[in-house]
């Protein structure tokens, strides 16, 4: 398994696979555990850590920039639960100055970063009941939308062009 990727126009700072003893490896796993409720040991098949601007870029550059959004930490994680093989998927975890969270999920057997594979869930205070979705591990609450293209009232892509290449070959 490749453990790093160089800088490019579509992966501005490159990516690395953190060592298993590094908080950069374990922190996104805790976010996934908290968001999905999965228990027991997790088998990480692939992990990439990369940084880049917020989406849309207008929030992280130019006259309207919000400085705290200029450099977002992101993890791509492909994993499965060793004790429950029905729990397997691909996850995008994002970290900002004010916290970390699970941004999107895709079926385990998909590749790269393309629509309609990646699903996001917008919080909905009127419907917090978790539901299952075909091909996705666990249960999810909120309004489902296409994370790649946007949707559910969000007219922007989930990842900016500057980092979509960090998922190339996944």
Does the residue 51 lie in any domain?
yes
pLDDT tens for residues 74-104?
999 999 999 999 999 999 999 988 889 999 9
Does the residue 135 lie in any domain?
no
Does the residue 120 lie in any domain?
no
Total domains in the fold of the chain: 1
What are the beta bridge partners of residue 105?
91, 119
**Parent domain of 74:** 4-112+157-167
pLDDT tens for residues 44-84?
999 999 999 986 554 444 544 555 456 899 999 999 999 99
- As a whole number of Å, the CA-based R_g of the chain is 15
CA torsion angle for 31, 34, 38, 41 (degrees, to 10)? 50
Does the residue 27 lie in any domain?
yes
Does the residue 142 lie in any domain?
no
Q: For the whole model, what pTM was predicted?
A: 0.89
Can you give the pLDDT at residue 11? 95
* Neighbouring residues of 51: CB distance < 8 A, sequence distance ≥ 6: 12, 13, 71, 72, 73, 74, 163
Strands of the sheet with 119-122, listed across from one edge: 4-5, 15-16, 42-52, 72-81, 84-96, 99-107, 119-122, 143-146
Ranking 26-30, 38-42, 97-101, 113-117 by mean pLDDT, the lowest is: 97-101
């Amino acid at each position: 398994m490749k453990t790093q990727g160089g800088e490019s126009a579509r992966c501005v700072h490159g990516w690395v696979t953190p060592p298993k003893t590094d908080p950069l490896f374990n922190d996104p796993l805790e976010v996934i555990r908290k968001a999905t409720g999965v228990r027991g040991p997790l088998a990480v098949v692939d992990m990439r850590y990369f940084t880049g601007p917020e989406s849309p870029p207008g929030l992280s550059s130019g006259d309207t920039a919000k400085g705290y959004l200029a450099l977002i930490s992101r993890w791509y994680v492909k994993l499965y639960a060793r004790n429950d093989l029905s729990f397997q998927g691909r996850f995008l975890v994002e970290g900002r100055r004010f916290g970390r969270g699970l941004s999107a999920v895709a079926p385990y057997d998909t590749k790269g970063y393309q629509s309609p594979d990646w699903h996001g869930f917008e919080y909905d205070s009127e419907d917090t009941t978790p539901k299952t979705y075909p091909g996705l591990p666990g249960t999810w609450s909120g309004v489902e939308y296409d994370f790649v293209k946007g949707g559910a009232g969000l007219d922007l892509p989930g990842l900016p062009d500057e980092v979509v290449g960090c998922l190339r070959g996944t």
